[in-house]
Amino acid sequence: MTPATHDTHPHEHGPDCGHTPLKHEGHVDYLHDGHLHHPHEDHVDEHVIEVDAEHPADCTPEHDCDAHGDGHVHGPDCGHEPVPHGDHTDYLVGDHLHHPHGDHCDNHGNVAIAA
């Protein structure tokens, strides 16, 4: 599958650019306004974390994360960065993906923040 691209992306992603770097499929992508950007030649590819065994899209009501309170609601300006995952949006909480689902958050797998 050919990724979507940004041919005129004025921001240059890299170490110390201010966006969270995530290790993804053998390279580094950058979280930028709910998108996962990968600098590539003269443009930026837009990537998505695939739904797979490492990053499932399962319902996990037993997930108990102490990174936020029970009343926390993920969404715009909640303090957690949105991450594209499959056909939906998750939120980066510590080192894993949270997906809001009814009265709980599902754990959609760990991610590695690049140093």
More confidently predicted of 112 and 42: 112
Predicted pLDDT of residue 99: 94
Predicted pLDDT of residue 12: 76
At residue 11's C-alpha, the angle toward residues 108 and 36, to 5°, is 15
Give the dihedral of Cα atoms 13, 30, 20, 65; nearest 10 deg: 180
Q: pLDDT category, 83, cuts 50, 70, 90? A: very high
Q: How far apart are CA 24 and CA 111, in angstroms?
A: 8
Q: Looking at the predicted structure, is the pLDDT value of residue 6 above 70?
A: no
CA distances from 91 to 2, 41, 82 (A): 25, 28, 4
**Digit-coded pLDDT (tens) for 90-102:** 999 999 999 999 8
Q: pLDDT category, 51, cuts 50, 70, 90? A: very high
At residue 44's C-alpha, the angle toward residues 41 and 47, to 5°, is 120
Q: What is the pTM of this model?
A: 0.87
3-state class of 46 per DSSP? strand
Q: pLDDT category, 5, cuts 50, 70, 90? A: low
More confidently predicted of 108 and 67: 108
